[in-house]
Amino acid sequence: MSTGHDNLEAWKRQRTVELAFELADSGRYENFADVAYALQFERGMATTQALIDDPEIRRLLKERCGDARERSAPPPEPEVVEAQPSPRIAETDHAELPQAADFERTPSFLRRAMSIVWRAGVKPVNAGDLNSAAS
pLDDT at residue number 65: 92
**How many structural domains is the chain composed of?**
2
Are the beta carbons of 25 and 63 closer than 8 angstroms?
A: no
Q: Which of 28, 36, 33 is nearest to 73 (CA)?
A: 28
- Show which of 35, 54, 72 is a domain's final residue: 72
Same domain, 7 and 66: yes
pTM check: above 0.75? no
Rounded Cα gap, residues 67 and 60, in angstroms: 10
119 with 66, same domain: the answer is no
Residue 100 pLDDT: 60
Which residues of the chain are under the pLDDT cut of 70? Answer: 1-2, 51, 81, 83-115, 117-135
> Dmax of the chain from CA atoms?
122
Q: How far apart are CA 24 and CA 22, in angstroms?
A: 5
Q: Do 62 and 120 belong to one domain?
A: no
Torsion angle of the four alpha carbons 44, 47, 51, 52, in this order, in degrees rounded to the nearest 10: 80
Instruction: Report the pLDDT value the prediction gives residue 73, as an integer from 0 to 100.
Output: 76
Do 66 and 118 belong to one domain? no
- Do 67 and 104 lie in one domain? The reply is no
- Enclosing domain of residue 56: 2-72
- Classified as helix, coil or strand, 86 is coil
User: What are the tens digits of pLDDT across the range 7-32?
Assistant: 888 888 888 888 999 999 999 999 88
Q: Is residue 44 domain-shared with residue 8, that is, in the same domain?
A: yes
Q: Is residue 29 part of a domain?
A: yes
* pLDDT value for 63: 93
- On whether both 104 and 49 belong to a single domain, the answer is no
CA–CA separation, 50 and 56 (whole Å): 11
Q: How far apart are CA 95 and CA 93, in angstroms?
A: 5
Say what the pLDDT of residue 6 is: 81
What does the pLDDT read at residue 131?
55
Q: In the listed set 54, 72, 90, which residue is the last one of a domain according to the structure?
A: 72
